[in-house]
Chains A and B, each alone.
Chain A
Amino acid sequence: MSIEVEAAPPTATRTYRPAMGRGWWTRKSHYFWYMVREFTALPLALWLLWLLFEIQRAGRGASGYYPPSSTPFVIFSVICLLFALYHSFTFLSLAGVILHFKVLDKPVASRLIVLSQFGGWLVASIVIGAVLIGFGR
Chain B
Amino acid sequence: MFAQGGVLAALLIPVHILVQGVLGPLGIVTVVDRHYDTWISILGNPIVKLYLLVLISLPFFHFAHRLRYLLVDLGIPAAKGLPVQVVFYGGAVLVTLVAVWVLLTTAPLSLG
Contacts and interface: CB of A to CB of B under 8 A. Distances in A.
A74 B26 contact: yes
A129 B7 CA distance: 18
B17 A45 contact: no
A91 interface: yes
B110 interface: no
Contacts of A38: 66-67, 69-70, 73
Contacts of B52: 51, 55
B59 A67 contact: no
Interface of A: 20-22, 25, 35, 38-42, 44-45, 47-49, 51-52, 54-56, 58-59, 61-62, 65, 67-70, 73-74, 76-78, 80-81, 84-85, 87-88, 91-92, 120-121, 124-125, 128-129, 131-133, 135-137
B16 A58 contact: no
Contacts of B40: 58
A58 B32 CA distance: 12
Contacts of B109: none
B9 A44 contact: yes
